[in-house]
Amino acid sequence: MKPLSGPVAGAVPPRGSGAAAVILVGFMGAGKTSVGRLLGQRLGWTFADLDDRIQAREGCSISEIFRDSGEVGFRQAEHAALRDLLAEPGSSRRIIALGGGAFAQPENAALLEESGAFVVFLDGPAEELFQRCQQQPLERPLRRDKEQFRELYDKRRPAYLKARWRVDTSGKDPETIAVEVACILGLQ
């Protein structure tokens, strides 16, 4: 049985134009960047990808940051980039795609909670997400093999489930997912 999309119990979706940013979280291959771009176009909101911001801020690729500074150094750069992005003028009415591990870091989750952002978990089964990643030319430092991918997915999923809203991405294209996100947030 497929899990239902929609708000987590007790969550009240915003109505109308919404004042806060929409943050898309989820594992590698969930479609955060693709859906975020489409959602931004649909709503007329700006789109930002946190990984792009990290690379611009650090002056090197995500892979280079991992290679030179390890995951700890990357997570520090990630938190700083997220903090800066949320503090920018006009950060409301913005769609932000986080990297797969960003929301699993307690300091980032706390920062998003403080910001009042609408956090949406793009959920999907590990097997489908792995297949999507295999089809992308993007280098992902923490994607090694199917077993390691599944272990990391299982480790991070409880953090993702803390998001206020959840959309099941199983078998759906990014446009369909973007429409669902807009609908559950009352932004249609």
Q: State the DSSP string of 44-93.
A: T-EEEEHHHHHHHHHTS-HHHHHHHHHHHHHHHHHHHHHHHHHHSTT-SS
- Please give the CATH topology (third level) of the domain spanning 6-49+93-184: Rossmann fold (3.40.50)
Residue whose pair of structure tokens reads 């979280």 in the numeric block? 25
Residue 63 to residue 90: CA distance in whole angstroms = 30
The per-residue pLDDT for range 89-117, each reduced to its tens digit, is 877 789 999 999 999 999 999 999 999 99
pLDDT of residue 14: 43
pLDDT in tens, the chain (188 residues): 333 444 443 344 444 434 479 999 999 889 999 999 999 999 999 999 999 999 999 999 988 998 899 989 999 999 999 999 999 887 778 999 999 999 999 999 999 999 999 999 999 999 999 888 877 655 544 456 788 889 999 999 999 999 999 999 999 999 999 999 999 988 87
Rounded to two decimals, the pTM is 0.86
Picking from 43, 4, 52, the residue whose alpha carbon sits closest to that of residue 22 is: 43
6-7 and 165-168 strand pairing: antiparallel
91 CB neighbour count, 10 Å cutoff: 17
Residue 35 to residue 174: CA distance in whole angstroms = 5
